[in-house]
């Protein structure tokens, strides 16, 4: 029995390392899959969000979130007393912090979005910073990630379908659904081991890629989102 008890710490440590590797590999795959397409980076955004109970008012909670990541120079841009919105920049990263009252029992919904126009390799560090924002409230946020780029030519449908599949080759995932019209392709799928996911009928999805050709600007835009693309395309 003692022999097996000695193996428990090793087993738990292995699970911890595997969990960290999965999360790191997930972000790494988003970066590599985007780079593999050859698209020019426009921007990327990582958002963390969570619900929690606190005696603080929503504006006080927003202030606390800012303090957690050493942001002190900002001006709230929301005039709604039930919601606070703060936008500011630090180290070339744009922060959007939102806190909103959910009910009268002290429950608040908070989101912290960080967006940048370069240095795509910084995604893992951004998630760590967002995690720090929520530590005071003893909650772990759920995350969403969005990468946006473009190609300097207007692709046809066949080319867009090829690029969409090229994105998914980097994830080794199961494709759940595909949609296309003459100017747009959208594909969604599911990767095992990733916490963030959405119900899609009787299945789950946690990765979404889309391409849209623009004749007006003579280019093709590409979005890669997790668990789903959160902007209109």
Give pLDDT tens digits along the chain (233 positions): 444 444 444 433 333 333 433 344 445 478 888 888 999 999 999 999 999 999 999 999 999 999 999 999 888 887 688 899 999 998 888 999 999 999 878 899 999 999 988 666 667 688 899 999 999 999 999 999 999 999 999 999 999 999 998 888 867 778 899 999 999 999 999 987 677 889 988 899 999 999 999 999 999 999 999 999 988 87
Which domains can be identified in the chain, with CATH numbers?
A: 45-144 (3.30.310), 152-226 (3.30.360)
Q: How far apart are CA 230 and CA 51, in angstroms?
A: 19
Any idea what DSSP says for residue 39?
P
Inter-CA distances, 180 with 37, 86, 145, 157, Å: 19, 37, 23, 8
Q: What is the pLDDT of residue 4?
A: 42
- Give pTM, 2 decimals: 0.81
Q: What is the pLDDT of residue 20?
A: 39
Give the end-to-end CA distance of the chain in Å, rounded to a whole number: 59
Q: What is the pLDDT of residue 121?
A: 61
Cβ–Cβ under 8 Å, residues 191 and 198? no
CA dihedral 131, 137, 138, 143 (to 10 degrees): -30
Q: What is the pLDDT of residue 87?
A: 93
Q: What is the pLDDT of residue 174?
A: 85
Q: What is the pLDDT of residue 73?
A: 87
């Amino acid at each position: 029995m003692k022999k097996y008890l000695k193996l428990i710490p090793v087993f738990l440590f292995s699970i911890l390392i595997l969990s960290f590797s999965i999360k790191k590999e997930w972000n790494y795959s988003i970066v590599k899959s985007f780079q593999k397409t050859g698209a020019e980076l426009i921007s990327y955004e990582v958002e963390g969000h969570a619900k929690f109970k606190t005696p603080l008012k929503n504006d006080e909670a927003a202030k606390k979130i800012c303090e957690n990541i050493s942001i002190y120079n900002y001006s709230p841009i929301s005039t709604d007393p039930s919601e606070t919105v703060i936008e500011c920049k630090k180290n070339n990263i744009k922060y959007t912090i939102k806190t909103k009252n959910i009910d009268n029992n002290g429950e608040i919904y908070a989101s912290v979005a960080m967006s940048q126009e370069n240095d795509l390799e910084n995604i893992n560090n951004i998630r760590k910073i967002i995690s720090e924002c929520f530590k005071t409230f003893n909650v772990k946020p759920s995350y969403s990630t969005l990468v946006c780029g473009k190609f300097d030519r207007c692709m046809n449908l066949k080319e867009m379908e090829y690029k969409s599949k090229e994105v998914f080759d980097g994830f080794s995932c199961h494709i759940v659904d595909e949609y296309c019209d003459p100017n747009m392709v959208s594909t969604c799928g599911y990767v095992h081991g990733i916490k963030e996911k959405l119900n899609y009928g009787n299945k789950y999805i946690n990765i979404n890629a889309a391409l849209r050709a623009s004749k007006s600007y003579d280019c093709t835009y590409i979005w890669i989102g997790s668990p789903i693309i959160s902007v209109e395309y």
